[in-house]
């Protein structure tokens, strides 16, 4: 099996891609969205850093919805592409063999949706057996736009996370989540049951490619957004079917799970009345409110968010224009006061957050 993976990787030509995330925004354009000189200094610097991390490897052809999608069922493989080792960077362990794939999952409303992701194999099977132990990895927040997908990023969004599994001989199956990578539908950020579907069906799909080399048993591990995702997966009925095409589910490990986002936002709001250090910490949390707003809009496009202040609303428009990923999105709130994010005068914040 290792020789097949090696040869297919050697025979695959280097992917050329376009930059579709963390786009350069001139100062005069940023100013149109209420991003003044202070805001722009931070935003442009972080955009540059994110652009370096996320790279410019977005393959328009691969991430476009497959022609055979309309006739597919959840867990079907739609596309498959080896990742050239020279494209990998960061803390991806040396010798890792990885592939991108496109498959089908199910959204919040029961509709079949295209999703992308990757599978990574270690250089050697540490169990000295014939099968790779299998883990489904659910990543933490990377962004809400198509170019923020882990499978696009040269490091495969390895931030001291899934590499530890590779180093211990596990095969890692990693979904991007619907709306990241392939963008037929917008990313429904922290719609945990939908993300759980994406994790489950990624395992089903990968078994159709590498089933003979993967252990029948599998487990899920996730961090932050992904921690909430695998928590939701563990509570769902999907992995409990002993005849499941995903295999025998062993359980999950949820790291810093994002399962109480509304409560977290309220704590951040309350902390602005306290010390300076609490305010700084709360601004970091408030930076993630933008992800939740855009994710909710992707599910319910007619939602008006009456509690959102005009200043923050304009900043989110700027984020969309730049297709800003994780840190650059968060940087857009670093110079804002709480009343420039939440329209407290509307007296609707508490109601909307319940």
Structure-block tokens of residue 97: 């063999």
pLDDT grade for 248, boundaries at 50, 70 and 90? very high
Query: What would the pLDDT profile of 30-56 be if each residue is shown by its tens digit?
Result: 999 999 999 999 999 999 999 999 987
10-19, 138-147, 164-173, 316-325: the lowest-pLDDT one: 10-19
For residue 318, pLDDT beyond 80? yes
Domain boundaries, the chain: 2-13+68-255, 27-53+260-353
Predicted pLDDT of residue 3: 42
Query: What would the pLDDT profile of 59-90 be if each residue is shown by its tens digit?
Result: 999 999 999 999 999 999 999 999 999 889 99
Q: Starting from the edge strand earliest in sequence, which strands make up the sheet with 77-83, in order?
A: 77-83, 97-106, 112-121, 170-175, 132-138, 214-223, 248-255
pLDDT grade for 276, boundaries at 50, 70 and 90? very low
> Which is it for the CA torsion 204, 224, 251, 215, positive or negative?
positive
Mean pLDDT of 110-131: 88
Residue bearing the bigger pLDDT, 297 or 124: 297
Mean pLDDT of 234-249: 87
pLDDT grade for 8, boundaries at 50, 70 and 90? very low
Predicted pLDDT of residue 274: 53
Predicted pLDDT of residue 11: 40
For residue 280, pLDDT beyond 60? no
Predicted pLDDT of residue 6: 38
pLDDT grade for 12, boundaries at 50, 70 and 90? very low
Mean pLDDT of 273-289: 60
Residues in the chain: 354
Write down the residue that tokens 């986002």 correspond to: 261
For residue 9, pLDDT beyond 50? no
Q: What superfamily does domain 2-13+68-255 belong to in CATH?
A: Alpha/Beta hydrolase fold, catalytic domain (3.40.50.1820)
pTM of the model as a whole: 0.89
Predicted pLDDT of residue 56: 72
Predicted pLDDT of residue 283: 56
pLDDT grade for 242, boundaries at 50, 70 and 90? low
Secondary structure of the chain in HEC code, one letter for each residue: CHHHHHHHHHHCCCCCCECCCCCCCCHHHHHHCCCCHHHHHHHHHHHHHHHHHHCCCECHHHHCCCCCHHHCCCCCEEEEEEECHHHCCCCCCCCCEEEEEEEEEECCCCCEEEEEEEEEECCCCCCCCCCEEEEEEECCCCCCCHHHCCCCCCCCCCCCCCHHHHHCCEEEEEECCCCCCCCCCCCCCCCHHHHHHHHHHHHHHHHHHHHHHEEEEEEEEEECHHHHHHHHHHHCCHHHCCCCCCCEEEEEEEECCCCCHHHHHHHHHHHCCCCHHHHHHHHHHHCCHHHHHHHHHHHCCCCCCCCECHHHHHHHHHHHHHCCCHHHHHHCCCCCCHHHCECHHHCCHHHHHC
């Amino acid at each position: 099996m290792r020789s097949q993976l090696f040869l297919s990787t050697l025979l695959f030509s280097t992917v050329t891609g376009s930059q579709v995330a963390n786009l350069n925004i001139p100062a005069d354009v940023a100013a149109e969205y209420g991003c003044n000189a202070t805001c722009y200094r931070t935003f442009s610097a972080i955009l540059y850093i994110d652009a370096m991390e996320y790279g410019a490897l977005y393959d328009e052809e691969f991430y476009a919805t497959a022609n055979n999608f309309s006739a597919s069922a959840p867990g079907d493989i739609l596309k498959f592409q080896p990742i050239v080792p020279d494209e990998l960077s960061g803390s991806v362990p040396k010798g890792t063999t990885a592939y991108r794939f496109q498959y089908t999952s199910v959204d919040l409303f029961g509709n079949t949706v295209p999703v992308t992701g990757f599978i990574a194999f270690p250089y050697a099977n540490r169990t000295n057996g014939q099968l790779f132990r299998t883990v489904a990895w659910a990543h933490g927040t990377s962004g809400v736009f198509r170019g923020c997908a882990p499978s696009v990023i040269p490091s495969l969004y390895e931030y001291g996370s899934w590499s530890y599994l590779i180093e211990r001989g596990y095969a890692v199956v990693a979904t991007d989540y619907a709306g990241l990578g392939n963008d037929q539908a917008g990313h429904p950020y922290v719609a945990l049951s939908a993300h759980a579907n994406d994790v489950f069906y990624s395992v089903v799909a990968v078994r159709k490619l590498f089933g003979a080399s993967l252990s029948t048993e599998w487990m899920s591990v996730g961090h932050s957004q992904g921690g909430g995702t695998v928590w939701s997966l563990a509570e769902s009925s999907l992995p409990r079917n002993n005849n499941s095409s995903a295999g025998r589910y062993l359980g999950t490990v949820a790291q810093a799970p994002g399962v109480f986002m509304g409560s977290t936002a309220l704590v951040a709001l309350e902390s602005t009345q306290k010390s300076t250090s609490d305010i700084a910490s709360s601004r970091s949390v408030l930076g993630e409110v933008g992800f939740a707003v855009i994710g909710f809009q992707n599910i319910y496009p007619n939602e008006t968010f009456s509690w959102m202040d005009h200043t923050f609303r304009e900043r989110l428009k700027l984020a969309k224009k730049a297709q800003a990923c994780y840190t650059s999105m968060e940087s857009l709130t670093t110079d804002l006061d709480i009343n420039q994010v939440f329209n407290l005068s509307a007296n609707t914040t508490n109601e909307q957050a319940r």
